[in-house]
Each structure stands twice: as structure tokens, then as C-alpha cells.
């Protein structure tokens, strides 16, 4: 079971540079597609342990979103050792997310 963590401006860089890959969900409360993808990410977290899932509210943490060129939400970015490895823009069905993240799912 993967951990889901809430990220903010002060812990973001440390989180993406950790030992374990992290999939960051850049989202906002007013975003309909973000609400659609949230339970999908919870399911993935329950079923897989290859990475952590982090949630970053772009309204509360605009600098982190801007630093990674997040132009639309939801945007999911998988970081490994502080480096972006995968980017998924928009709400995607679970099977597509799992395809994109296959090398990290265990």
C-alpha cells in the first residue's frame, strides 16, 4: 500500500528528492476533473507500493506548480531523485495511469 501525503511549498522539494519515487497530483478544490481522478489515485495507492502519492493544491502552492510548468490541472508528475520521469495531464482512467506507471508499480 502506497502512502498518500499532502505537500506544501515548504516540503515539496524534499519530497520529490526522497529515496522513493513520488507521483505528485497537482490539483485544486474547484477542479472537476481533479475530483474525478482523486478516488482513482486512492485505489492505486491501496494496490501498489512502488511509489508515494503526493497531493499539491496549486491554489495554496502556486510557486511549486509554476516551477514545474504546470499549466492545467490535474497534472500528475512522477519524480525520482528530484527528476521528472513521467507527466500525465488531465484526468485519465485507472488502466491508462497504470500503463504509464507500470515500471513503478509493485
Domain locations in the chain as residue ranges: 4-104
**CATH classification (class only), 4-104:** alpha beta
Whether pLDDT at 87 is above 90: yes
Q: What is the pTM of this model?
A: 0.95
Torsion of CA 19, 98, 72, 35, to 10 degrees: -100
Whether pLDDT at 2 is above 90: no
Element (H, E) at 24: strand 22-27
* CA separation for the pair 104, 32 (Å, rounded): 27
| Helix (H/G/I), strand (E/B), else coil: 94 | helix
Give the model's confidence band at 104: pLDDT under 50 very low, under 70 low, under 90 confident, else very high.
confident
Catalytic residues: 31, 34
| Helix (H/G/I), strand (E/B), else coil: 43 | helix
pLDDT tens, 42-55?
Answer: 999 999 888 999 99
pLDDT tens, 61-84?
Answer: 999 999 999 999 999 999 999 999
Helix, strand and coil percent figures for the chain, each rounded to 5: 35, 25, 40
- Residue for cell digits 502552492? 61
Length of the chain: 106
Amino acid at each position: 500500500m502506497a502512502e498518500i501525503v499532502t505537500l506544501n511549498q515548504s516540503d515539496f522539494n524534499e519530497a520529490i528528492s526522497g529515496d522513493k519515487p513520488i507521483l505528485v497530483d497537482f490539483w485544486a478544490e474547484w477542479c472537476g476533473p481533479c475530483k474525478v481522478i482523486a478516488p482513482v489515485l486512492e485505489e492505486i495507492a491501496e494496490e501498489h507500493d512502488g511509489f508515494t502519492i503526493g497531493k499539491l493544491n496549486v491554489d495554496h502552492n502556486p510557486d511549486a506548480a509554476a516551477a514545474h510548468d504546470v499549466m492545467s490541472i490535474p497534472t500528475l508528475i512522477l519524480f525520482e531523485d528530484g527528476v521528472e520521469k513521467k507527466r500525465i495531464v488531465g484526468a485519465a482512467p485507472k488502466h491508462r495511469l497504470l500503463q504509464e506507471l507500470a515500471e513503478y508499480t509493485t
